Every structure is written in structure tokens, then in C-alpha cells.
Structure 1
Amino acid sequence: MKIQHPFRTALIATLGVGVGLLIIAGVSTLQTILLYVGTALFLSLGLDPVISWLERRRFPRWAAVLTTIVAVLAAFAGIVLMVVPIIVGQITELVRQVQRLFRSGALDDPVTAIKDWLHQVFPVLDVDEVFGYLQDWYESLDLGEIGSTLGESIIVIGGTLIAGFTGAFIVLILTIYFTASTPSLKAAVYQLVPASKRERFIDLSEQITDSVGYYVIGQMSLGVTNGVLSAIFLSIIGAPFPAVLAVIAFFFSLIPLVGTLTGSAIIVLTCLIPGLASPTTALVALIYYAIYMQIEAYVLSPRIMNRAVSIPGAVVVIAALAGGSLLGLLGALIAIPVAASILIIYRQVVIPRQNER
């Protein structure tokens, strides 16, 4: 094959590769901002069904948006005001207990105290062998290097917390903006589609946005259900600070697939902390969450999510794993509605076109 203008062809190809590399570098540089925007869009689509429901109750658009935003902020403020005083009180009480133990001399031999506790909680564990491994590991450490690493880690953690609060504030502002301007944003996107295909595009877009919205509402409903039932049950069995553990159950239930399991494991392990609860309390909590996870998987989740997504279980697992690998926690959260959206396009666009051929 003879190329008519090899220099021009090579120049254009080189420029094309350069533009592609610039686009990839730009996306990499702006990945944090794109993550904020994506999170805000995801949350605003989740609030849209609530706003639509209020509009059907003859709320003006601005009043529906304002009511929804205020309700969400009030809910999170209530959680913070409920949890923070309990955490501060528990930390204060822990410091007092440690001070009492030091004054009484009970911690003169802390290794023996820890071994005795481990023998009581885990009777089948060879505690002496475990401590032997820990002692060998400790003797092999470079304490100077550990101190330097610890100092750097504290700085990194502080910076991460500040960045997290800043990001949360930015996401909040963007969510409010996107929620208030969702109709105009949709209309602007719809105008970019040719008039001959606009009606079909609007139909598919509305199905996709509704799917995302109902998914967010459904996941929030599962989280609230787990949180409320956990608060009631943990209060009945005498678990330590049940309000904090209920909030943990709520937030972890927002994570698909493994969220409820992880939150339940944290709660059960918390009940094993000496001085806070007994192994019997932890065992009762373990039995409860084992039963609850079955009920959630086979009763609650199918009923709550039936309007949100309709995708096979294998696709759910693959989508959540892929999303978590690409974007972390946010990717795991949005992977399922994204998979549902792709399936909508596949079923209503790809398959009908294939059948026409």
C-alpha cells in the first residue's frame, strides 16, 4: 500500500497520539474533581425520586428541593450530634479506667493481664506461642525507622482528614446545585440529540436515571432498617454504646454485597472487648446478624430493590468487584446502577437492532 503524503500522515498520526496522551493526562490530573462531580451526580439522582414524589403532592420545585436537602442535612446532623457525645464520653471513661488501673497497680504486669484475658475469651488459642511470635517480631524491628514512619503517617492522616472534610463540603455544594437544576441539565443534554432520535433517547435516559435514583433510595432504606433494628436489639442485649454500633451498621449497609457482613463483624468484635461486654453478648449478636443477613438477602433486599435494578446475581458481584477496583468505595456503590443502565441499553437497543437484521 502506497502512502501519498507520508510526512503529513505521520504528522497527523503523531498529533493524534499527542492529543490522546494529553487527554489521558488531563483525566488523571482531574480525577479528584471528576470523582467529586460523579459523587454529586449520583447523590442528586438518588434524591430526585423524593423530589418528584413531593412535586406530585403539589410542592413547587424549589420547595421540594429545599425540603429534601434540609431533611438530609438534618438527618446527618442528628447522627453526628448523637454519636459524637457518646464517643467523647466513652473515650473519657476509657481514660479514667486506665488511670484507675495504673493507680491500683493492676497494670504492673500488663503482659500477664492480656494473656489471662485471651485465655478466657479464646480458650483454644495457644497464647504463649502467639506471644512468642510477637516477641520475635518486636525484637526484629528498627525503632528509629518506626518512629520516623509513624510521624509521617500522622501527617498523612491529618492531611487526609482535612482533604476528606473539604471534599465532603464540595460534594455537598455540588449535590445541592445538581439537585436544584436537574430538569434544566437534562433538557440541555437532550437538545444535543437529533430530533429524530430524541424521543427514544429521552425514554432510555429517564429509565436509567430512575434506576439510579431508586437504587440509592433502596440502599438507604436497607441501611436505615439495619440501623434501627440494630439499635433496638443491641440495647436489649446490653451491648456497649448501641447508638454508635447502630450508626456503624447503617453506614456499612450502604455498601453492596459485603457491607452488612463487615459491619456485623465489627459489632461482634466490639462486644468481645474486655470490660465492655461479655462473650455471651457477642455470641448472641453473632447469631442475630447471621439470621438478619439471611432475611436481608432473601426478603428485604428483593422487595426494596425490585424497582431499582433487575440484573443477575453474577453481574452484581462482577460489577461491584470491578467498580471497587477502579474507584474504591464509590465505585462499589455506583457499579450496580451502572450495570443496570448498561443492561437497559443492551435489552432495549442492542437486541432489537440485532433482531431487525
Structure 2
Amino acid sequence: MSSPLSSTKTAAALRTSARVSAELLLILVAAAVALWVLGRMWSVVWPLIVGLFLTTLTWPLARFLRRHGWWPALAASVVTVFALLVGAGIVALIAVPVADQSGELADRVVAGIDKLREWAAGPPLNIGDDQITGALDTATDRLQDSVGSVVTTAVTGVSTVVNGVVTAVLALFLMFFFLKDGPRFLPWLTRQLPGRLATDIPEVASRSWATLGAFVRSQAFVGLLDAVFIGLGLWILGVPLVLPLAVLTFVCAFVPIVGALFAGFVAVVIALVSNGPMDALLVLGIIVVVQQLEGNVFQPMIQSRGLGLHAAVVLLAVTLGGSLAGVVGSLLAVPVAAVLAVVWNYLREQLVEEPREPEPEDLPEGSPAPS
């Protein structure tokens, strides 16, 4: 027969479970409140995050200039203007080719739709032109009925563009001040905090900054390699919009896994519409080869120490971030997960018990005493 349960141990286990559950609930409530406050302050927080990302990319150049005798303000000004020129050049690389080739691409899209209609009219689908025309008429009627929502969407788009410009301007100003006064931040923070916090928070901030900088710079370099190789393949195959697609590949590299899939999908669709299915398959093959080289050769070489995150954690973080905050969430998911890992590792270091040296009375007889 099995022994009866101990009422004392059962009650103690229930009390422990209740206490742990209450503590977890308090942590979740605190996290929810922090996220709510973050959402209310997002108009300020988002430019701050973008400014930090830009600073991690441009800090090596600013540090190089400062080490060679440049004044901090002058070095920060030169690097900020350089970053602004690079950003304007990237926008021009996207906008000008799209504007030049938009008419040709639209014609090829129409031709592709006509081919699709011809294919749908034959076996095995055997969809008649009257059915296709009826579907198009229905779609047109729905579009006309939703003119108000289309206008609202257009107004929202204009508002989004204005907010994007304001965010970019604020991020550039913040980047300038970070580049100019960044090295003085941690000493200032140490003087402002009391007791143990004066050591812990600056240390966590320093580690988080190093991790964030390693992530952003390595992703930028890997994205540049992807853009060069994929863009070269698209150029050899004669796919239109090579420069915009290459720039899109570079930008999407900052969203691990999901960004590469999205950029590859866009490139394959453009190749399918413009050059046909054979070139689309070739483009798909080029993208797969480049992604394999990135995952197995480029990234292990560049991210020698890595972020300490498993690929499954990265994928889950990107998925969760995208479901919570869309594109912005996908972009910030991996850096946030990496910073949380840094915080957890530091807390674990502080909570690990130091090995206790044995006292003399604990040693066997005849053993030498510890020095």
C-alpha cells in the first residue's frame, strides 16, 4: 500500500505555489503597466530607439575621429551629415528606379494577368470570361462602395509619412547628441544612482549597448552581402528594379528570418511578372543559395560570439513582435530579446552562490589547511 499524503507537506506546497503565483501575477501586472506607459510615450520612445540604432552603426566612425584629435562636437556633426547623405542616397536608389520603370512594370503586370486569364480559361479550371468579368465587376463595385475608406486610408498614409519625417528628424538630432556626449553618460548615471544600483545599472547598460551594437553592425554587414550577391544575380538575369530590390534586401536583413523571406518573395514575384516562370525559379535558387551562405558562412564568421539566442527563440520573438506591433515589433523583437538575455545573465551571475572554502574543522584529519 502506498503511504498517505502528509498534510503538513501538502499545505506547505500549496502555500509555496500560492506565493509564487502571486509574485508572478505581480510581475505580469508590472510588465503590463510598463508596456502601457511605453505605448503612451511611443511618440518619444520610437525616435529614441531609432537614434540608438543609428548611433550603434555610426559610433565606430565617430570614435575613430575622436581618437585622432577631433573635437566631440565636430566629429558628431561630420558623422551625422554623412549618415544623412547616405540615407538620402538610399531613398534615391529606391525612388528613382521605381519611378523610371513603374510604367514598364505595370504593363508587364497587365500582360501577366492576361496570361493568367488565358490559363484559367483552359483545362483543368475551365473558367469562362464571363465569370472572370463578373468577378472583376464585383470587385469594382466593392471598391466604389468603399471610396470613403480609401480616402481615410490615404489621409492616414499622409499622416504616417509626416510622422515618419518627424521621427527621422528627431532620431538624427538624438544621434548627434549620443555621438557627442555618449561616453559621459555612464559616469553621470553612476553618480546619480544610490548604493548597489550605481554598479548594477551602468554594468547592465554597458553590456546591453555592446550587444545591441554587435547585433546592428553585424546585421548591416550581412544585409550588405546579401544585397550585393542577390542584386548581382538579378542584374545578370535582367530582372527590373534591381537597385530597389537590393536595398529592400539590405533593409529586411534587420528582421532575422522573416525579413529574408519577405525580400525573397518580392524578388521572385517581380521576376515572375517581368521575365517569366523560368527566371523566377532561377531567382528563387539564387536567394536560397545566398541565404545558405549567409546562415552557414557569413553569419558565423561575423557574429563570432553571437547574441546567445537560439534560432527558435529568434523566430518566436520575431513572430510575437510582429503579432503585437506589426513591422516595428518584428524589427525590435530580436534586439529586445538579446537585451533581456543580457539582463537575465547578469542577474544569474549575481545570484550564483560563491563556492565556500571549507573550514579547518570540516577537513579530514591530516589534511593541510587551506592557504
What TM-score, normalized by structure 1, do the two folds share? 0.76
How far apart, CA to CA, are the structure 2 residues paired with 1:243 and 1:221? 17
% identity of equivalent residues: 22
Aligned to 1:334: 332
Aligned to 1:282: 280
How far apart, CA to CA, are the structure 1 residues paired with 2:181 and 2:341? 27
2:79 to 58, 68, 72: 68
- Tell me how many residue pairs correspond in the alignment: 323
Residue 241 and residue 22 in structure 1: after superposition, are their counterparts in 2 closer, same or farther (change >3 A)?
A: closer
How far apart, CA to CA, are the structure 1 residues paired with 2:172 and 2:122? 49
Structure 2 stretches lacking a partner, 5+ long: 1-31, 356-371
Task: State whether structure 2 residue 241 is matched by structure 1 residue 230.
Answer: no
Moved more, 250-259 or 150-159: 150-159
1:347 to 341, 345, 358: 345
Deviations 1:249-280 (A, max 9, x none): 1112222221111101101100111xx32322
Q: Aligned-pair distance for 1:353?
A: 1.6
Q: Is the 1:36–1:170 contact (alpha carbons within 8 Å) kept by the matching residues of 2?
A: yes
How far apart, CA to CA, are the structure 2 residues paired with 1:86 and 1:287? 25
Structure 1 stretches lacking a partner, 5+ long: 1-20, 99-109
Residue 356 and residue 331 in structure 1: after superposition, are their counterparts in 2 closer, same or farther (change >3 A)?
A: farther
Residue 145 and residue 216 in structure 1: after superposition, are their counterparts in 2 closer, same or farther (change >3 A)?
A: same
Q: Aligned-pair distance for 1:308?
A: 5.2
Counting only pairs closer than 5 Å after superposition, residues 83-162 of structure 1 correspond to structure 2 as 83-93=94-104, 114-117=113-116, 119=118, 126=125, 128=127, 132=131, 135-136=134-135, 138-139=137-138, 141-142=141-142, 144-162=144-162
How far apart, CA to CA, are the structure 2 residues paired with 1:162 and 1:115? 38
Q: Aligned-pair distance for 1:315?
A: 2.5
What TM-score, normalized by structure 2, do the two folds share? 0.73
1:47 to 48, 58, 69: 58
Q: Aligned-pair distance for 1:174?
A: 2.3
How far apart, CA to CA, are the structure 1 residues paired with 2:121 and 2:263? 22
Give secondary structure in 2 for the equivalent of 1:272. Answer: helix
How far apart, CA to CA, are the structure 2 residues paired with 1:301 and 1:160? 34
Give secondary structure in 2 for the equivalent of 1:336. Answer: helix
Measured on the aligned residues, the alpha-carbon RMSD in Å equals 3.6
Q: Aligned-pair distance for 1:337?
A: 2.8
Q: Aligned-pair distance for 1:336?
A: 2.1
Aligned to 1:299: 297
Amino acid at match of 1:290: V
The structure having more radius of gyration, on CA atoms, is 2
Q: Is the 1:45–1:212 contact (alpha carbons within 8 Å) kept by the matching residues of 2?
A: yes
Residue 199 and residue 94 in structure 1: after superposition, are their counterparts in 2 closer, same or farther (change >3 A)?
A: closer
